[in-house]
Amino acid sequence: METTHGLGTGNRSAAAPALPAATEAMIVEHMPLVGHIVRETMARVPSHVDRDDLTSAGLTALVMAATAFDAERGVPFNRYAATRVRGAIVDELRSIDWASRSVRRRSRELDATRANLANVLGRVATPAEVAQAAGMSVSEVAANDEDVARAQVLSLHASEDDAIGERLVSTTPNPLAVIEQKEQLTYLVEAIAELPERLRLVIEQYFLAERPMAEIAATLGVTESRISQLRAEALVLLRDALNHELDPDALAPEAKPEGCAAKRRESYFAAVADRHAAGVRRPVRGQRISISA
């Protein structure tokens, strides 16, 4: 990746002014963060997504984050930069045409072959018949169909004469939606792990172990009403923790920002962010988390 941001002394562009030394140092120091986020993303998207494209988008976002960073806001740079980098990578994924030109062309050819065979045979052709007519193997036809099925955002860039973009019906999840869902689940698991002990126990026992409130109340030696209150308190914390990391605009402001409750909440948010930044993952072990009040 070529850069015009003045990183290093041997590749400066006359079109862009050199960055301050402190800013360059901050960028270089946090380049591994981009690599970590890209690796995390590549594990969740189809194999044909180009790692270099995501890396380029991430590094560009890192440079922009470093130049715009204001330490007086009280947000650590690594957290601020991670948010910007993830946002840039999501934007890059939105802009990607998931099906290459060759995949599109071959898909149109196969569709035409299927249509011709249907007219001749009076029925839907079998995969073997389609493969023989197209001069391909059955596995090649299946592979092309799978590639097209992964083209979730194809219609965003399909041209007017590219009918497949309009009629494609995919049974696979949108890659971007998969990423966002897994990111939310990751933060949720980490946010549960950072809850105060009693709140964490209530959430784990009620939602994961699916124990009745009466049993949880007996375990903790409190009333069912108190368990209900603890559950509600935990849900608010979890919701706010996810919004703090993934959708800050949706985070409700504190009524008393200087109060003890606000400080405890900010401390909790910081703990969740630190756990995520450290790359700590606690597997859900096949359990399906579905939390609602």
What domains, with CATH codes, occur in the chain?
21-95 (1.10.1740.10), 101-149 (1.10.10), 175-277 (1.20.140.160)
Of the listed ranges 94-103, 133-142, 154-163, 175-184, the least confidently predicted one is 154-163
For residue 208, the 8-state DSSP code is I
**Tokens read off for 83:** 């948010």
Closest CA to 98 of 35, 152, 162: 152
How far, in Å, CA of 253 to CA of 118, rounded? 62
pLDDT of residue 165: 35
| Two structure tokens written together for 200 | 């964490």
So what's the pLDDT on residue 196? Answer: 92
- Look-up of token digits 């980490």: 190
- For residue 199, the model assigns a pLDDT of 93
Question: Is the model more confident about 58 or about 174?
Answer: 58
How many other β-carbons are positioned within 10 Å of the β-carbon of residue 80?
Answer: 17
Q: What is the pLDDT of residue 274?
A: 86
- Whether the per-residue pLDDT at 190 is higher than 80: the answer is yes
CB contact at 8 A, 267 and 254: no
* Beta-carbon contacts of residue 140 (< 8 Å; ≥ 6 apart): 131
Evaluate if pTM is beyond 0.95: no
DSSP state letters, 224-272? HHHHHHHHHHHHHHHHHHHHHHH-GGGPPPPSSTTSHHHHHHHHHHHHH
pLDDT at position 232 is 87
Find the largest Cα–Cα distance for the chain: 78
Which of 108-112, 227-231, 237-241, 277-281 shows the lowest per-residue confidence on average (mean pLDDT)?
277-281
pLDDT above 90 (res 34) = yes
pLDDT at 211: 84
Whether pLDDT at 16 is above 80: no
pLDDT of residue 201: 92
Rounded mean pLDDT, 30-39: 91
In terms of Cα–Cα distance, which of 97, 113, 92 is closest to 152? 97
Q: Summarize the confidence of residues 279-289 as an average pLDDT.
A: 46
Min mean pLDDT across 17-31, 35-49, 109-123, 270-284 is at 270-284
Give pLDDT, residue 281.
44
- How does DSSP classify residue 71? G
Contact 46, 150 (CB under 8 A): yes
Q: What was the pLDDT predicted at 147?
A: 65
pLDDT above 70 (res 169): no
Rounded to whole angstroms, what are the CA distances from 86 to 33, 64, 89, 220, 249?
A: 10, 13, 5, 40, 16
Structure tokens at 122: 């009076």
DSSP state of 278: T
Mean pLDDT of the chain: 75
Tokens standing for residue 47? 């194999």
Q: For residue 164, what pLDDT is reported?
A: 31
Percent of the chain with pLDDT over 90: 12
Give the model's pLDDT for residue 166.
Answer: 37
**In terms of Cα–Cα distance, which of 57, 68, 291, 58 is closest to 184?**
291
> 102, 159 in Cβ contact below 8 A?
no
Selection from 4, 284, 46 nearest residue 179 by Cα:
46
**How many Cβ atoms from other residues are within 10 Å of residue 228's Cβ?**
15
pLDDT at position 155: 34
